[in-house]
Every structure is written in C-alpha cells, then in structure tokens.
C-alpha cells in the first residue's frame, strides 16, 4: 500500500517491528502498537493530509460502493448527444430493497482505469448524463436519487470547452435543483469545484470523515492566488474543506465516521458505515412529503452564503 | 536597448484622473492616448481590442442617460473564513471599499435600453476580478427575484475570473443559488439575456449559460478556468482559442457576437421582442 508522507511514522514503526520479529524477538501486541501509532498520526492530521487521504489510490471509490452496497445495478449509458462519459457511472439499482437511481463519479484505482476514466474529471457528456438520469429518476421512474462524489473536478481541455462544458454543468445543476424526488449525496473522497457542486445539490449531504469538499482544489487555489503551487498546504487550511469544518458551517448534514488509518486501510468498516448512514437517511427522506423536502432544499440553497447588510 | 524594447502593458480598469496617460494595447502593442481610448469606448483604435470597462462605465454604455436606478440594499462581502493569501481578505475588502466604493462585485438596478425598461446587473471586474462571493451571489439572486416580481426582463453583463476563493465553499454555493433564482424567474415567464464580456470563467460562466439569449462582446474568452490554472494543475496547456466566443458561437453556445459599438443597439432590438404580443 502507498504510504502517504504524513503516515511515514506508521511505516517506520511497522518495519522496525517486523525487523525485530524476523530476528526472533517474541513481540507481544505488535498489532496494538501499530494501531496506537496510526491513532497518534491521525490525531494530528492536517487539512492537506486529508486531501491526500481522499486521493489515496486504494480508497474505495463510488463504483466500489455501487458494487458492494447496491444490488441489481443496471448501468445506463450516454448523454443522447453523441457521447458516453466513462467518468460518470449511473443507473437503477436496489439499496436495502428500495429502488433508487445511483449516480457516481469514477476515477479508477490503477493506471489503466485512471486512463479509461480520465481520473474522474467530468466531461460535458458526463454532466449531460447526470442531467438525463436525474430527470429519468424524477419525472419518469419517481425513485430517489443517491449520488456518490469523488472527483477532481470538471475536465478543462480544448475539447471540453468547445463541447460546452459550462453549459453542460448548468444543465446538471438545474436538473438536480428541480428533481421531484428525494436526493441524498455522499462525498466519499475528493469533492472539487463545479463538478462536485453539480452532484451535491441534495436534501441530505453526507461526507466521509476523510473526504474534502472545496470550491477548487488547494493546488488550483494556490495557482490563482500565488501564481504557483507552493502554498497548497496553507491554502487547504484557509479554504475550510474538511468534514468537521463544513458540518459547523451547515454546508453538510452528517459526517460518516472513518477509523484512524482511513478507508484505504479499513475499507470494510467504512463500507459498513456508509451503508448504515445511507439506510437511515433514505428512511428519513422517504417519510417526508416531496413538496416539504423540496421546499427545504430550495430554502437551504437560497440562504447559502455569508454577507452583511 | 533592452530597457526600451520591454513592453509595459497598462490595463487601467478605473478611469485615470490624469489627462495624458498613454496606454499600450494588450493586443497590438501600439501606444494609445488614454483619452482617445476612452472616447472610443475603450476599444483600441488600431486593432479593435476591447479593454475592460468598469461597472459604472458599462452602465453608462448600455442604459439610456439618467435612467439607471440601483435596486435593493447595499450588501457587503465579509471575511467569513478569516482567509489570508498574500494579504488578509478583510484588509483587501476594506481597501476596495475605500478606493472604488463598491461593497461587492456586482451593480444591480433598473434602467432603460433604447426606451425599454429592464432590470440589469453588471459585474465589476475592478472588485477582486469580478469574482462571485456570497454578497455578489445574493445581489444577483435578488435581481432575478425583483425582475420576476416586477415583470421585467433581466440582463446580466458578466465579467469575472470565477469563484471568490477567499470565501471558500460559500462561493461555490452561490452558483447553485443564482441558478435556482434564474430557473424560477424563467418559469414565471421572465426573459434573461446574458452578456459575455472578457473574461467569464468558472461559476459565473456556468450561470451565464442560463441566458435565454446569450450575447457576447467580440474577442471575449469564456470557459471553466483560465490557462494558467489549467497548465499548472492539469499539467496541460489549454489553447486560448478554445474559449473564444467567436468559436463558441460556431459550436452553438452563443447567439450573437458583436463589438462594443453595437452592443447597446443589439440588446435594445432583442428587448423590443419581449412580450410584444401582450402589450
């Protein structure tokens, strides 16, 4: 497993213990020592460390949650305008026996997948697919929508710009604003910029403890404000991107716990936590009348922001 | 020699007091008398390059003389995150209030364009590059609410570098907030004309795509993010051409591309069609 820079003390201890073990020392409670070290390291985690955890290649991604937590998933493809964006995975499925539309981003874990899904950077056809599946769930099937978000943002290239990237983002955002069914969103990893926004317009916004949600990546913010990438760590702190901070700011509704060591070490525990949280939230929104939900969704968005009069 | 060859590019957004300032054109590099440039609506007399205009200049350009009235209460940007980059955001805001006298990055009101009463919002690029913060988002939202209530068309002149990074996630939320207001307004029978000027990036560019009719000033650039961010973060060059409104028009995302000299008359002629039948 790839060890993140701030996780070095865990690896050092682990190697040292293994070395001693190989020399024939009988070590009691090796696991416990490592566990303690993990806890110690994660106690001092910084916002930029969280960014790195959220991007860890072994961290479960939306397609993994779909595979493990949903049944009878039928993937639906295409934007009906000439393309199918592989960075967006969506379709009908059952969650806990309930029919839902699940839409997620897809980054990929290894080089081959990363290339195929272009690192989860969403293309115009991806945003159009989000809009299309949202309308299908809302206007035709009348089933709740669950979105799973882990994306470095909208793709920026000559091709995506001339294919109407900004226009496509508008269509995804307006479709979700208008959805006449409950929408639950979970930010599982990276939640960056307009792509993350377009999938988090929801009645309940959940976030994993070591995910982050930002107006733009700390790297991009550093590039804009300092003309280079050197200040990404400081800017990550200034931006207030962690689940704890965003809960305090009323941007998100709930934090889904992750053990120290995070989802790349303990995927099964985190899967279970996501499943429980989603089940509770789905039950909660299913009890509410849709016009009540929608009114609350609209009010929350109308009130967003801090300014002085 | 090197010293003299060095091109000094000055792009004053705020009208300079001094009479004999010379400005070098960003595009063709020729020296222009600032007064002459102003008389020519800040369009380079040599190559036609469109310099940026301040919000006040934009209002004067587009609305009939004396017809513009600001609407709503003054809403100010605040440093909600205690954000610090090269300077603290609080300091930055204070300095802006003292120098340009605007509380946020958009000026909203009503005015007449060729005799037709309309609501109008104009981004102020001179206020932190016209970035979209909470106060700006609130003002835009109120503009669409006002236009809906008063049965007026809505025009927004965009010029913005994107989201207000110093307001973090609150800034991103404004994109959803304004789009919600636009969609409500359009559903109630409103008519929204987007005007794209150089540049419109990020969230504001997304918002601008809500226009029933999208008009662009010649030579403007519109897209998700600027070339430097793309190059440094995505590690690939973004050809500037891809974001040019002339190309976006060919691709079907912009209705009309006109020079600054034709902008008012273009808006006026579109406005005349709004609810013509019901008058």
Q: What is the pLDDT of residues B241-257, one digit of tens each?
A: 999 999 999 999 999 99
Q: Is residue A308 part of a domain?
A: no
ipTM: 0.96
Query: Could A298 and B167 be called an inter-chain contact, meaning their C-beta atoms sit closer than 8 Å?
Result: no
Q: Quick check: A162 and B134 CB within 8 A?
A: no
* pLDDT interval class at B1 (50, 70, 90): very low
Q: Which of B73, B225, B237, B246 to mutate to test the interface with A (most CBs of A within 10 A)?
A: B225
Please indicate, yes or no, whether the overall pTM of this predicted structure exceeds 0.90: yes
Number of CB atoms found within 10 A of residue B176's CB: 26
Q: From the list B73, B205, B232, which residue is nearest A166 (CB)?
A: B205
Residues A23 and A64 in one domain: no
Residue A226 lies in a domain: yes
Residue A258 lies in a domain: yes
Residue of chain B minimizing CA distance to A169:
B206
Q: Give A-chain residues touching B241 at CB under 8 angstroms.
A: 158
Chain B residue numbers with beta carbons less than 8 Å from the beta carbon of A231 are 85
Give the residue from chain B lying closest to A225, CA to CA.
Answer: B85
pLDDT of res. B189: 93
Q: What DSSP string runs through B139-205?
A: HHHHHHHHHHHTT--EEEEEEE-SB-GGGHHHHHHHHHHHHHHHHHHHHTT--EEEEEEEEEESHHH
Together in a domain, A11 and A152: no
CATH number at residue A73: 3.90.226.10
A31 and A167 part of one domain: no
Q: Where in chain B is the domain with CATH 3.90.226.10?
A: 53-271
* Same structural domain, A107 and A30: no
Residues A21 and A163 in one domain: no
A307 in a structural domain: no
Asked, for residue A138, whether it belongs to a domain, the answer is yes
Read off the pLDDT of residues B140-171 as tens digits, 9 standing for 90 and up.
999 999 999 999 999 999 999 999 999 999 99
B10, pLDDT greater than 50: no
**pLDDT 10s digits, B14-69:** 455 555 688 889 899 999 988 899 999 999 999 999 999 999 999 999 999 999 99
Residues A32 and A130 in one domain: no
Q: Verify that A89 and A131 share a domain, yes or no.
A: yes
How distant, in Å, are the alpha carbons of A16, A81, A129, B183 from that of B224?
Answer: 48, 20, 19, 21
Domain count, chain A: 2
Residue B240 CB: number of other CB atoms within 10 A? 12
| pLDDT digits 0-9 by tens, B175-232 | 999 999 999 999 999 999 999 999 999 999 999 999 999 999 999 999 998 877 778 7
- Count CB pairs under 8 A between chains A and B: 191
Tell me, yes or no, whether A24 and A74 share the same domain: no
Shortest CA distance from B242: residue in chain A:
A158
- Chain A CB contacts of B161 under 8 Å are 224
A40, A62: one domain: no
Residue-number span of the structural domain to which A125 is assigned: 46-300
Residues 6+ apart with CB under 8 A from B52: B11, B13, B42, B125, B159, B197, B198
Task: Measure the CA–CA gap between A100 and B150, rounded to whole angstroms.
Answer: 41
Interface test with B, best of A183, A213, A306 (most B CBs within 10 A): A306
pLDDT of residue B19: 59
A209 shares its domain with A148: yes
Q: Based on the domain organization, do A106 and A198 belong to the same domain?
A: yes
Is residue A150 classed as helix, strand or coil in its secondary structure? strand
Closest to A306 in 3D by CA, of B3, B173, B100: B173
Please tell me the predicted confidence (pLDDT) of residue B279.
Answer: 47
Q: Which of B161, B205, B229 sits opposite A220 (nearest CB)?
A: B229
According to CATH, the topology of domain B53-271 is 2-enoyl-CoA Hydratase; Chain A, domain 1 (3.90.226)
Query: Tell me: the pLDDT tens digits for A249-261?
Result: 999 999 999 999 9
Nearest residue of B to residue A235, measured between CA atoms: B85
Q: What is the pLDDT of residues A25-72, one digit of tens each?
A: 766 777 888 899 999 999 999 999 999 999 999 999 999 999 999 999
Q: Is residue A251 part of a domain?
A: yes
Q: Given pLDDT bands bounded at 50, 70 and 90, which one contains residue A282?
A: very high
Test A177 with B203 for CB contact under 8 angstroms. no
Residue A309 forms part of a structural domain: no
pLDDT digits (tens, 9 = 90+) for A292-309: 999 999 999 999 999 998
Residue of A nearest to B206 (CA): A166
Q: What is the mean pLDDT of residues A185-195?
A: 97
Largest CA distance in chain A: 71
The alpha carbon of residue A173 is apart from the nearest alpha carbon of chain B, in Å, by 7
In angstroms, the CA A93 to CA A290 distance is 21
The tens digit of pLDDT for each residue in A109-167 reads: 999 999 999 999 999 999 999 999 999 999 999 999 999 999 999 999 999 999 999 99
Residue among A177, A251, A309 whose CB faces B169 most closely: A251
């Amino acid at each position: 497993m790839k060890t993140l820079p701030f996780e070095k003390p865990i690896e050092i201890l682990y190697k040292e213990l293994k070395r001693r073990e190989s020399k024939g020392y009988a070590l009691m409670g090796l696991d416990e020592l490592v566990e303690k070290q993990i806890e110690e390291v994660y106690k001092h985690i910084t916002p930029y460390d969280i960014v790195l955890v959220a991007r860890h290649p072994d961290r479960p991604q939306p397609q993994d949650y779909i595979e493990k937590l949903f049944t009878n998933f039928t993937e639906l493809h295409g934007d009906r305008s000439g393309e199918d964006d592989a960075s967006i995975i969506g379709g009908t499925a059952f969650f806990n026996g309930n029919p839902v539309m699940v839409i997620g981003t897809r980054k990929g874990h290894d080089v081959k997948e990363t290339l195929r899904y272009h690192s989860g950077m969403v293309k115009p056809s991806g945003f159009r697919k989000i809009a299309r599946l949202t309308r299908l769930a809302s206007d035709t099937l009348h089933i709740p929508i669950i979105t799973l978000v882990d994306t470095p943002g909208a793709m920026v290239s000559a091709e995506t710009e001339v294919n109407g990237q900004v226009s496509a983002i508008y269509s995804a955002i307006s479709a979700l604003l208008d959805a006449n069914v409950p929408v639950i969103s979970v930010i599982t990893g990276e939640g960056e910029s307009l792509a993350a926004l377009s999938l988090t317009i929801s009645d309940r916004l959940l976030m994993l403890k070591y995910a982050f949600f930002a107006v733009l990546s700390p790297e991009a913010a550093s590039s804009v404000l300092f003309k280079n990438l050197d200040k990404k760590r400081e800017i990550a702190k200034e931006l207030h991107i962690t689940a704890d901070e965003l809960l305090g700011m009323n941007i998100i509704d709930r934090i889904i716990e992750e053990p120290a060591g995070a989802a790349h070490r303990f995927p099964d525990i985190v899967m279970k936590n996501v499943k429980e949280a989603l089940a509770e939230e789905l039950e909660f929104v299913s009890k509410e009348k849709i016009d009540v939900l929608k009114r609350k969704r609209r009010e929350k968005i109308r009130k967003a922001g801090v300014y002085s009069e | 020699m090197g010293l003299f060859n060095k091109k000094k590019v000055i792009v004053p957004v705020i009208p300079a007091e001094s009479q004999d300032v010379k400005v070098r054109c960003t595009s063709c590099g020729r020296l222009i008398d600032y007064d002459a440039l102003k008389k020519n609506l800040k369009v380079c007399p040599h190559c036609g390059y469109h310099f940026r205009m301040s919000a006040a200049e934009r209002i004067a350009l587009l609305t009939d003389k004396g017809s513009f009235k600001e609407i709503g209460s003054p809403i100010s940007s605040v440093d909600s995150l205690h954000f610090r980059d090269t300077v603290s955001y609080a300091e930055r805001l204070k300095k802006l209030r003292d120098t340009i006298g605007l509380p946020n990055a958009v000026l909203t009101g009503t005015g007449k364009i060729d005799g037709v009463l309309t609501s109008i919002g104009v981004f102020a690029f001179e206020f932190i590059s016209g970035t979209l913060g909470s106060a700006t988002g609130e003002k835009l939202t109120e503009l669409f609410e006002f236009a809906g209530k008063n049965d007026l068309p809505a025009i927004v002149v965009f010029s913005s570098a994107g989201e207000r990074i110093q307001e973090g996630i609150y800034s991103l939320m404004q994109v959803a907030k304004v789009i919600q207001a636009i969609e409500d307004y359009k559903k109630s029978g409103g008519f929204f004309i987007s005007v794209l000027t150089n540049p419109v990036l990020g969230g504001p560019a997304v918002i601008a795509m809500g226009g029933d009719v999208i008009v662009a000033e010649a030579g403007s650039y519109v897209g998700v993010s600027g070339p430097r961010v793309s190059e440094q973060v995505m590690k690939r060059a973004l050809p500037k051409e891809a974001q040019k409104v002339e190309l976006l028009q060919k691709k079907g995302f912009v209705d009309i591309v006109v020079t600054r000299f034709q902008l008012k008359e273009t808006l006026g002629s579109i406005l005349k069609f709004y609810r013509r039948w019901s008058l």
